[in-house]
Amino acid sequence: MSLSNLTKLEEKAIKLLLKHHTKGLLQSELWNKLGVSSREGSRIAIKLEKRGIIKRERVYANERWTRKLVPLIKQFDIKPLLGAPCPTCPYNDNCGYQKTYNPMVCPLIERWITSAGENGAADTNAILLQNE
């Protein structure tokens, strides 16, 4: 999946669809919100589907068969990552797979996760998931 080389209209379509992440939007609703013709809207939807950004589901709505557009991507919440030690870590260049330092056993990461959980400053489960 690639989010590069998207037009402004395609980016706007993605933003609108992300607001309806769980249920999706009927394609005609998206065309109306974008202010485009059904032809132009269909072209956008097909392109986004080919890129794996959305799926187009065939549904019966408003007394006819149409397509519902459902995003396959989610908005990334950076809040759990605020305060992470890695961006300012002096060992950053030597940390990672087959390098001197290993994030899996890093005491700075462990301390950050522990303090975030104790302070309620971040969702510890989210941090743990994003570190997996």
Binding segment for ligand SF4 among 56-64, 69-77, 102-110, 115-123 (CB under 6 A)?
102-110
Residues sharing a CB contact under 8 Å with residue 17, sequence separation 6 or more, in sequence order: 24, 25, 30, 54, 69, 70, 71
What does the alpha-carbon distance between residue 45 and residue 43 come to, in Å, rounded to a whole number?
Answer: 6
Among 81, 106, 121, 126, binds ligand SF4 (CB under 6 A): 106
Question: Tell me, what amino acid is at 25?
Answer: L
- The verdict on 113 binding ligand SF4 (CB under 6 A) reads no
Nearer CB in complex with ligand SF4: 7/92: 92
Residues sharing a CB contact under 8 Å with residue 3, sequence separation 6 or more, in sequence order: 14, 51, 53
- Which phi and psi angles does 106 have, rounded to 5°? -80, 120
Enumerate residues 48-87 that contact ligand SF4 by CB under 6 A: 85-86
Among 13, 53, 54, 109, binds ligand SF4 (CB under 6 A): 109
Nearer CB in complex with ligand SF4: 1/78: 78
Q: Given the rule CB under 6 A, which residues bind ligand SF4?
A: 85-86, 89, 91-92, 95, 101, 103, 106, 108-109
